[in-house]
Structure 1
Amino acid sequence: MKRVFLIVLDSVGIGEMPDAADYGDAGSNTIRAAASSPYFSMPNMRKLGFFNIDGVEIGEKEKNPSGSFARMTEVSKGKDTTIGHWEIAGIISNSPLPTYPNGFPQEILDEFTKRTGRGVLCNKPYSGTDVIRDYGEEHMKTGKLIVYTSADSVFQVAAHEDVVPVETLYEYCKIAREILTGENGVGRVIARPFVGTPGNFTRTVRRHDFSLQPPKVTMLDQLCGHGYDVRSVGKIIDIFAEKGIKEYVRTTGNEDGINKTIEYMKQDFEGLCFTNLVDYDMLYGHRNDVEGYAKALTYFDERLPELLAAMRDEDILMITADHGCDPSTPSTDHSREYTPLVMYGKPIRAGVNYGTRGCFSDIAATILAYFDIKPECAGEAIPIL
C-alpha cells in the first residue's frame, strides 16, 4: 500500500535565488535567520540530511544521512503561497498574480459594497495585526468592513465577530471571490475574523481562504483520476479550491497539523496526504519574530521522530516549503528563496544529494512516478527509488 506524506513547512526558505533582487529580496535567507536564535535546534532534520542541501549555510553536515535531499528552484513568477503550492503540484505560473500596492480599484470596492451592503475601511497594504489595531474601533462603530492587502496577491477582509458573524464574513468573501476574476483575479480572498476590545484586538483561528481554481491539471487531479486517495491537512484544501482532494481536515496551527497528519498515518489508505504547517509564515515570518520562528522549527524537529515512527514499509515522507519569509529583514513579506526537499522512507535510496532541481514541480513528477502515473503536469521525476 503506497503512501506519500508531503509536508510543506510554510515559508521555510533556504537562501536567496538568483533573481531575488528583482523581487526586493536580495540577501534573504529564512533558515539562516532562524538559526541565529539560541532557540534553534534541528538534530533530527540534520540526520535526514537537511544541512547537507546545496547552499545551506547553517548546522553540522551529516556524514551518513538517513534521507535524501535536494534544493528546489521556483520558476513561476511570484513568491506567494498559491503560486508556490501550485508549482509543487505541477503548475508553472508564467505570469504573476495581480497585486495592489496602492489598494484596490474603486469599481471593485463599489461592487463589493453594493453586494454586501457594507462600506469599506483602509484599502491599503497593511500588517494584519496593525490593521485591526488601527481600524478595529471604527469598524465596530460603523459596521464597515476592513479591506486590505499585502505584497501578495490577496484581498483580505477583517471583521469583529460581534459585528459580523463568522459565517456572514465567509459569505462576504465568497462575494469578493466572484468579483475578483480576470485581470483582477487575486490568488486568495481571505476572511480575517477578530475579537477583543479597542487596544486589545486579536485575530482568531477561524481564518478562511477562498482561492482561485488551479488553471491546469495537478498531481492531485491525476492521483484522484487513477483511484488513489488524496487527503489534505491545513489550508491545502483552500489553496487548491477543493480541486483534486477527496478528504480534508483544517487545523488551528502547527501542533494540530502535526497531530492530524499522524492520525492519517495511522489510517489505511493508498495515495497522498498533503499537509501545510502555516505558523512559520503566519505567526513569525510576517511579524519578523526570529525567536518565534526558531522555536517553531525546533518544535517540528522534536515531533519528527513521531512522524518517522508512524511510517509503514511503502511510505515516503517529503518535507519541503513554498517560498521564504525571512524574519530578520525589514520587510514583513514573503521572500524569493530556494526551498528544501528532504525525503525519507524504506523505498528510497538514502544519503543521496540530488543537487539543485529545476523547479518545484519535480516533487509532483516524483510522486506520480512512485504511483506509476505518467505526469500530465510540469516537472521531472527525481530518481529516488
Structure 2
Amino acid sequence: MRRFKRIITIVLPSLGIGETADAARFGDQGADTLGHVCDYWQGSLKLPTLTKLGLGNIPRRSPLTGILAVTPLQSHVGKMRSISDDKDSLSTHWELMAAVHQRTLATFPNGFSSQLIKKIEKFSNRQVILNRSASELTAIRLFGQQQLKEGDLIVYTSSDSVLQVSANEMVVSLAELYRICRYIRFVADEDQLNIGRVIACPFIGKSPSNFKLTDKRREFAIDLPAVTALDVLKQHQIPVTGAGQLTDLFSGRGMTRQIHGQKAILTKILKTLETQTFGLIIADLGSLDEDAHARDPYGYGKDLMQLDAWLNAVVQQLTPTDLLLITADHANDPTFKGIGHTREFVPLIAASPNAIGGQLTQSLELADVGATILANFGIDHQLPGKSFLNQIS
C-alpha cells in the first residue's frame, strides 16, 4: 500500500451533491445543493479545476448542468454520508476526523430562555435584541443600525446548535465581544444547555447598505466528547496545520499550527504548502456556507468559482508524494426552504499527480476521511471509519 508523505484536505462546507436516503427524516426531500446551484446558473457556472478532478463523474440521479464528466478520470471520486443524528457543523466536522457524536445537540427555534438572556445582559451591561433564528447577514442588515446606535448585542441562532452574537466593532471591541462569548460558553456548560457553539460575529460599516461581517469571527465550541484523528496524529508527532473555522471547532486540539481569519487564509494556505512538506494540512473554507444560509445561489456560485480558481493553484503545487482530498462536512442548499443545512451526500475527490483515477466505493461515510489519514501514516487506531487508502494507491 502506497503511503503519501503529505495529505492536503480541503473542506468546502455546504457543498452537498443530492439528498441522502434519510433526508425525509430531516424534512430535506429534494435538496441538492450543487445540482440546484448549477441549474440556477443555467450552465454558466464554470468550475474547470473541480471538473478536471472529476466532480461531474460522481454518481448522482441526474447530471450536473454545465459540469461534464471527464475521460480518462485522473482522480478517485465518490460521495459520503453523515451518520450523526444532526446536521450541525460541529458534529459533522468531528465526524470527518473519526469522532462520531452520539448526543444530539440542542437547538433553539424559538430563541433562548429569558434566564440566559438576563445573565448575558447583566454580565455585558448591554441589552439583547433579536433573540430568534436568522442568518448572519439578515441579522446585521435588519438590526445593525439599532446596535450601532444603542450599543446592544444582536443575539440569534439558526437550525444549528449555535448562539451567535453580533456587534459593530466601532461600538463593541473585539476583546469585549470575545469576553462576552467566553462567558456565555461558561454559562452554557455550567447550566448544561448543550449548546454546540457560541459564535462571535463582529461586523463593520455605518449603515445597512455597507454593513459586512469581518474575518474576526471566533467560535467557542463545546468540549469534544471523544478522541479524534487529529489527537492521534499529535500523539504520533505528525505535524498538523489547521486553517479556517475548524481551528475553533476542534478548539485547536491536535494542531501544531493554526491559521485564523478569512481574508488572507487562501494565500496563507498556499504559503504553507511551500514550507510544510510532511504531515496533514486541513483547511475549512466556510464562505460558501454563508451564502447558503442567506439563500443566495448567485453569491454561492460566484464564491464557488473563485474557490475553484484557487484550487487550481493548490493542484499546481502537488507532488507525486501528495494526496489532495476535497470534500464537505455537510450540505446547505441555497435554493431550499428555511435557512438551515440540508441532509445530503457530500462529494469526495482524492487526487495525486500521475495517479490512475476511478470510482470509490458507494458506501463511504464522513469518518472514513479520518481513518484514511491515519492509515496513510501507518497509525493503528480504534476510531470509527474505514480507510479507503487501498483504493487510491
TM-score by length of 1: 0.94
1:92 pairs with 2:97: no
* CA–CA distance in structure 2, aligned partners of residues 356 and 98 of structure 1: 31
Structure 1 residues without counterparts, runs of 5 or longer: none
Alignment match, 1:4: 7
Match of 1:290 among 292, 297, 310: 297
Alignment match, 1:360: 366
Paired residues, number: 381
* CA–CA distance in structure 1, aligned partners of residues 266 and 70 of structure 2: 25
- Greater shift, 9-18 or 291-300, is seen at 291-300
SS in 2 for 1:160: coil
How far apart are 1:129 and its partner, in Å?
2.2
Alignment match, 1:120: 128
How far apart are 1:136 and its partner, in Å?
2.7
Asked if 2 retains the 8 angstrom alpha-carbon contact of 1:257 and 1:276, the reply is no
Alignment match, 2:156: 148
Asked if 1 retains the 8 angstrom alpha-carbon contact of 2:79 and 2:364, the reply is no
Q: What per-residue deviation string (whole Å, max 9, x for no partner) do you get for residues 282-338 of structure 1?
A: 1x2112221221222222222333212211231110000011111112322211110
Structure 2 residues without counterparts, runs of 5 or longer: none
Asked if 2 retains the 8 angstrom alpha-carbon contact of 1:39 and 1:298, the reply is no
Alignment match, 1:325: 332
Asked if 1 retains the 8 angstrom alpha-carbon contact of 2:128 and 2:153, the reply is yes
1:263 pairs with 2:310: no
Alignment match, 1:105: 113
Q: Match for 1:136: what amino acid? A: G
Match of 1:49 among 46, 50, 54: 54
How far apart are 1:83 and its partner, in Å?
1.2
Alignment match, 2:202: 193
Q: Match for 1:187: what amino acid? A: G
Does the C-alpha gap of structure 1 residues 161 and 365 become closer, same or farther in structure 2, counting only changes over 3 Å?
same
SS in 1 for 2:201: strand
Q: Match for 1:297: what amino acid? A: L
- Greater shift, 301-310 or 14-23, is seen at 301-310
In the TM superposition, what are the counterparts of 1:156-305 in structure 2 within 5 Å? 156-181=164-189, 183-200=192-209, 201-253=211-263, 256-282=264-290, 284-305=291-312
- Greater shift, 296-305 or 92-101, is seen at 296-305
Q: What per-residue deviation string (whole Å, max 9, x for no partner) do you get for residues 214-245 of structure 1?
A: 21111100111101111011112111011111
How far apart are 1:126 and its partner, in Å?
1.5
How far apart are 1:192 and its partner, in Å?
1.3
Q: What per-residue deviation string (whole Å, max 9, x for no partner) do you get for residues 87-116 of structure 1?
A: 100111223211000111222222222322
SS in 2 for 1:167: helix
Q: Match for 2:230: what amino acid? A: L
SS in 1 for 2:361: strand
* CA–CA distance in structure 2, aligned partners of residues 297 and 131 of structure 1: 24
Q: What per-residue deviation string (whole Å, max 9, x for no partner) do you get for residues 173-193 of structure 1?
A: 111111112641212111111
Alignment match, 2:356: 350
Alignment match, 1:25: 28
* CA–CA distance in structure 1, aligned partners of residues 266 and 146 of structure 2: 38
Asked if 1 retains the 8 angstrom alpha-carbon contact of 2:28 and 2:342, the reply is yes
Q: Match for 2:313: what amino acid? A: E
Does the C-alpha gap of structure 1 residues 330 and 242 become closer, same or farther in structure 2, counting only changes over 3 Å?
same
Asked if 2 retains the 8 angstrom alpha-carbon contact of 1:100 and 1:153, the reply is yes
How far apart are 1:346 and its partner, in Å?
4.5
* CA–CA distance in structure 2, aligned partners of residues 381 and 28 of structure 1: 28
Alignment match, 2:376: 370
Does the C-alpha gap of structure 1 residues 345 and 199 become closer, same or farther in structure 2, counting only changes over 3 Å?
closer
How far apart are 1:80 and its partner, in Å?
2.0
Q: Match for 2:111: what amino acid? A: G
* CA–CA distance in structure 2, aligned partners of residues 100 and 243 of structure 1: 27
Q: What per-residue deviation string (whole Å, max 9, x for no partner) do you get for residues 240-261 of structure 1?
A: 01111110111325xx433222
Asked if 1 retains the 8 angstrom alpha-carbon contact of 2:201 and 2:216, the reply is yes
Asked if 2 retains the 8 angstrom alpha-carbon contact of 1:112 and 1:179, the reply is no
Asked if 2 retains the 8 angstrom alpha-carbon contact of 1:257 and 1:275, the reply is no
* CA–CA distance in structure 1, aligned partners of residues 165 and 335 of structure 2: 27
Percent identical residues: 33
Query: Aligned Cα RMSD in Å?
Result: 1.8
